[in-house]
A = this chain, B = another copy of it.
């Protein structure tokens, strides 16, 4: 195909007319599809239905600690659940606390606690004149939502194929004691799908922040969410690297089974140093009577161990892989050589990240919506919803059926071509 920018005005007008016709044709089909979030599909949910059977009225519901999971008691999680999620987090069992059904909530709580109580005895962030966070972009909108909610100033840091721009991260945290944190999705990053290089993880572990209460919010949301059996990303374990550098208090590591078992009915956890866990426990004691232990037991009885969890994730991959490949094929077939967009081909996670020509993303998303396809709002992958180039669009292929997805991808390609042609004709 000829690149759009090399086309004559006449050719572009022709292309635009053709796409306009195709757009109307697809629109007439009355699509109604929400691809705005990384939601597992029904087929994926069905994979975990067995979890509804592992506990019944005659089950033994006493955990390894000898406590009846139906009653009060145990704040940190039952031993068998701590072990399973510690294995999933690649940390020792003692370094993890099991929380409720959402790691987002654990992250919110952790920021909230820092705001009101301070981190490990330091001044509460809420009493400081200003608090800043580094935000690798594009990134996860709900991370940025938490820091925006608490009035924390967010500073964009480019996310490179190797992870955040570490030259910039190192310089900023060393210079500015008001920078108290950074949001990271180190593996199969949301939305670009990249994984941090060993060098990036090591540089994180060796950061020398000006603020003693600076913390890395390491959201390992897609730690075992591979698409391919024979081509997987592996990242260094951050707490181990920190221990080598003597910086183990600098990291909060988050994990959950939301996209392993059931979103909203999973279990979440935080792994951290002894000092950081002790700091969290001081609040937890006042905050809750403890998370749902029966749901912890349900997860352990269903998955048994990491082998069980990996086997389960392979079934997810069987369902997800064709969907990612269908979108990638549609993009490649429809846009290859046109030079009006680039996209990622991730090896895991939940998203494909698309970059249009500057100034086109909002219009592409609007066009898709007009034809019945709801995408993640353009700008959502940036703090304050402001994409400086108006070019990034997050594509979430998991929820639709393959058939729906193929039509959605076709529509998306048409929208990109149409909006790009219009832009170039201006």
Binding site for B on A (CB under 8 A): 37, 39-40, 42, 45, 48-53, 55-59, 68-73, 100-102, 104-105, 108, 112, 115-116, 126, 142, 145-146, 148-150, 258, 262-265, 283, 285-295
Give chain B nearest CB distance to A297 CB in angstroms.
10
What are 28 inter-chain pairs, A to B, with CB distance below 8 A? Answer: A49-B57, A49-B58, A50-B57, A52-B55, A53-B56, A53-B57, A70-B263, A71-B264, A100-B292, A101-B292, A102-B290, A104-B287, A105-B287, A105-B289, A108-B287, A112-B116, A115-B116, A116-B126, A149-B283, A149-B286, A262-B294, A263-B289, A264-B289, A264-B292, A264-B294, A265-B293, A265-B294, A292-B295
The 5 A-B pairs at the shortest CB distance, nearest first, are namely A49-B57, A149-B286, A105-B288, A265-B294, A45-B70
- Chain B min CB distance to A19 (Å): 33
Q: Which of A39, A146, A263, A286 is the most central at the interface, judged by chain B CB atoms within 10 Å of its CB? A: A286
Q: Return chain B residues, CB-CB under 8 Å to A264.
A: 69-73, 289-294
Q: Looking at A146, A263, A283, which has the most chain B CB atoms within 10 Å of its CB? A: A263
Contacting pair A48 B72 (CB below 8 A) = no
Query: B59, A52: Cβ atoms under 8 Å?
Result: yes
What separation, in Å, do the CA atoms of A159 and B78 have in the docked complex?
Answer: 38
19 additional contacts (CB under 8 A) given A40-B71, A70-B264, A292-B295: A49-B58, A51-B57, A52-B55, A52-B56, A52-B59, A53-B57, A56-B56, A69-B265, A71-B264, A73-B264, A100-B100, A105-B287, A105-B288, A108-B286, A116-B150, A258-B289, A262-B294, A264-B292, A265-B295
- In the complex, which of the residues B70, B104, B288 contacts A265, with contact meaning CB atoms closer than 8 Å? B70
Residue in contact with A101 in the complex, picked from B100, B115, B149, B262, CB distance below 8 Å = B100
In the bound complex, residues from chain B placing their C-beta under 8 Å from that of A70 are: 45, 48, 262-265
CB of A265 within 8 A of CB of B292, answer: yes
Q: How far is the CB of A40 from chain B (nearest CB, A)?
A: 7
What's the minimum C-beta distance from A287 to chain B, rounded to whole angstroms?
A: 5
* Chain B residues near A293 (CB-CB < 8 A): 264-265
Known: A101-B292, A265-B292, A291-B101. Contact between A42 and B57, CB under 8 A?
no
B288, A108: Cβ atoms closer than 8 Å? yes
**A81 CA / B290 CA spacing, docked (Å):** 22
B55 touches A68 (CB 8 A): no
* CA of A100 to CA of B148, assembled, Å: 24
Minimum CB distance partner of A45 in chain B: B70
Distance, CA A152 to CA B250, complexed state (A): 30
Tell me which residues across on chain B come within 8 A of A104, comparing CB atoms: 287-289
Considering residues A48, A69, A264, which has the most beta carbons from chain B within 10 angstroms of its beta carbon?
A264
Chain B residues whose C-beta falls within 8 Å of the C-beta of A287 in the assembled complex: 104-105, 108
A263 to nearest B CB, angstroms?
Answer: 5
Given A42-B68, A264-B293, A295-B295, A145 and B286 contact (CB-CB distance below 8 Å): yes
**Are B71 and A45 touching (Cβ within 8 A)?**
yes
Q: Which residues of B contact A265 (CB under 8 A)?
A: 69-70, 292-295
Residues of B near A58 (CB, < 8 A) are 49
